[in-house]
Amino acid sequence: MKFDASIDDTECGQDISSLWCWVIEDPDLRNVSFERETRAPEAGHMSGSFDAVVAITSQAIAFGNLLLAYVTWRAAAGRSRGNGVTVSIEMDGRTVELSGLSDEQIRNLVSSLQGRGCAE
């Protein structure tokens, strides 16, 4: 399972730094592998490179904890639906965009993930 957070707007670079610090300091995320990437802009865009936070885990509970940490960070940062930060998750070959979801919708997703019987 993969979690990918990147910025839509170069002015939101501090947000990725804030999210990075938030998740790597969370003791509930010890079993999650994190990387911070610098990505080039998409073809046809004038903006410079930007940072992204990528996390990978095979544990459903750790993944659920990561999503809950994202919701908590988003609330603490005053971002109602992650404005300026694009977050997607990838599981079983499917990608789901989280940025436009409410906190309740993400919590429901976490509940369904943790109840699906993935290996711990």
Average pLDDT over residues 19-33: 90
- Range with top average pLDDT, 3-7, 48-52, 66-70: 66-70
Residue 104 has pLDDT above 80, yes or no: yes
In this predicted model, what pLDDT tens digit does every residue of 59-94 receive, in sequence order?
Answer: 888 888 898 898 888 888 776 555 567 788 888 788
Q: What is the mean pLDDT of the chain?
A: 77
**Which two three-digit tokens encode residue 98?**
């989280």
**Which two three-digit tokens encode residue 56?**
């990978």
Residue 117 has pLDDT above 50, yes or no: no
Task: Provide the sign of the torsion angle of the four alpha carbons 120, 6, 87, 92, taken in this order.
Answer: negative
The neighbouring-strand residues paired with 3 are 55, 89
> How confident is the model at residue 49, as a pLDDT?
52
pLDDT band at 119 (very low <50, low <70, confident <90, very high): very low
Length of the chain: 120
Pairing mode, if any, of strands 2-7 and 94-97? unpaired
**Which two three-digit tokens encode residue 90?**
């990838």
> How confident is the model at residue 118, as a pLDDT?
46
Q: Which residue has the tokens 């993400």?
A: 106
Average pLDDT over residues 44-52: 60
pLDDT band at 101 (very low <50, low <70, confident <90, very high): confident
Is the distance from CB of 25 to CB of 4 less than 8 angstroms? Answer: no
Ramachandran quadrant class, 12 (left: phi over 0; alpha: psi -120 to 50; beta: rest): alpha
